[in-house]
Amino acid sequence: MNIKRAFRVWQRHFTVYTKLYRTSIVLNFVEPVLYLVAFGIGLGAFVKDIEGVPYIKYIAPGIIASSSMFAATYECTYGTYVRMTFQKTFDAILATPINIEDLVTGELLWGSTKSVFYGTIIIVAISFFKMVDSMYVIFLIPVLFISGLIFAEISMICTAIVPGIDSFNYFYTLFMTPMFLFSGIFFPLKTLPPIISKIAFWTPLYHLTNICRACVTGKSNVIIVDILWLLAAATILAPISYVLLKKRVIK
C-alpha cells in the first residue's frame, strides 16, 4: 500500500463530493436534527431529567455519534458499491498506477473523513444551542476519525460480500438499527436487562457514544476503555476489509 496513491483516490471522491455536497449535506444534516427535535423536544417534554440533564441535552452527544456513524456507513456501503459495480469507477482507477490496496485505503479514509465532517457539523449545531458544556469536545475530532474508520471497515466488509445492492437492507435492519437504538444514545442501558449492556459493549457505537457524552459534558467518566476498544477494533477489522474487497474486485 502506498499512502500517496491512496490519497489520490480520496482526492477523487472529494472532487466529486464538492460537486454534489449541496444535496447530500442537507440530507445528512436534516436527519439528525429531526431526531433531536422529535425526541429531544417532542418526547423530552414528557421525560424527566436523565443523569441531571434535560432529555434533549442527554441525547445530543449521541446524535454526534450516530450522525458520524451513518455518514461513513452510507458512504462505504451504497457509495462504494455503486463505484465498484454500476459506475465501474474501480475499473477506471485500477487501470492506473493505483493498486487495489491503495484503492481500499482511499475508500476507508474517505469514509472516515465524512464521519469527522458530519460529526463536526452536529457539534457546531448543538454548541449553537448551548448544549456543549466543555472544551474537551475538541478531542472528539480524532475520535470520530478512528470510529469512522471502524464503520467504514465494517461497511466495506459488508460491501465485499453482498450479492447485490438490495442486500444492504439486511445490514441496516439487522445490525445498524439495533445498534443505533441500543447504544445508550436515547436512554441509559442500565435500565434494561444486563444482557443488553453486554451485547452493546461489543458494538462500536456504544463506545463512541460514551466518549461523545464524556467530552460534551466534561464529566470524565472512565473513557480510556472505550478509546482502547475503538483502537483495537479499527486495527482488527482493517485487514479483513482489505482481504475481502480484494477478493471481490480482482477476479
Partner 1 sequence: MVIIKARKLTKYFGQICAVDNVDFDIEKGVCFGFLGPNGAGKTTIMRMFYCIVAPTAGHIEIMGMDIKRHASKIKSKIGVMPQDNNLDLELSAFKNLIVYGRYFEIPYKISKRLAYDLLDYVGLTEKAHENIRNLSGGMQRALLLARAIINSPEILILDEPTTGLDPHSRHNVWHKLKDLKEKDTTLILTTHYMEEAEKLCDKVAIMDRGKIIIIDTPKHLMETYGGNLEDVYLKLTGKKLKGEENNNNNEY
Looking from the CA of 75 toward its CB, the CA atoms found within 13 Å total 35
Question: In this complex, which beta carbon is closest to partner 1, that of residue 15 or of residue 191?
Answer: 15
The residues, ordered by sequence, that sit 6+ positions from 241 with a Cβ below 8 Å of its Cβ are: 104, 108, 152, 153, 156, 157, 160
Half-sphere exposure of 146 (CA within 13 A, CB side): 22
Least distance between partner 1 and beta carbon 30 (Å):
22
Question: CB–CB of 64/70 below 8 Å?
Answer: no
Of 37, 49, 96, 198, the residue at the interface with partner 1 (CB under 8 A) is 96
Q: What are phi and psi of 153, to 5 degrees?
A: -65, -45
Segment lying near partner 1 (by CB under 8 A), choices 64-72, 86-94, 114-122, 186-194 = 86-94
Sign of CA dihedral 4, 15, 74, 181: positive
Q: Is 221 in the site for partner 1 (CB under 8 A)?
A: no
Candidate residues 5, 57, 114, 213; the one interacting with partner 1 per rule CB under 8 A: 5
From the list 56, 59, 98, 211, which residue makes contact with partner 1 (rule: CB under 8 A)?
98
Q: What residues from 10 to 69 belong to the interface with partner 1 (CB under 8 A)? A: 11-12, 15-16, 19-20
Measured from the CB atom, the residue of 51 and 91 that comes closer to partner 1 is 91
Among residues 8, 25, 133, 139, the one that binds partner 1 under rule CB under 8 A: 8
Closest CA to 225 of 201, 198, 200: 201
Least CB distance from residue 95 to partner 1, whole Å?
4
Smallest separation, CB 14 to partner 1 (Å)? 10
Q: Residue for cell digits 442537507?
A: 26
CB count in 10 Å sphere of residue 179: 19
> In the complex, which residues of this chain contact partner 1 (CB under 8 A)?
2, 4-5, 8, 11-12, 15-16, 19-20, 87-89, 91-99, 249-251
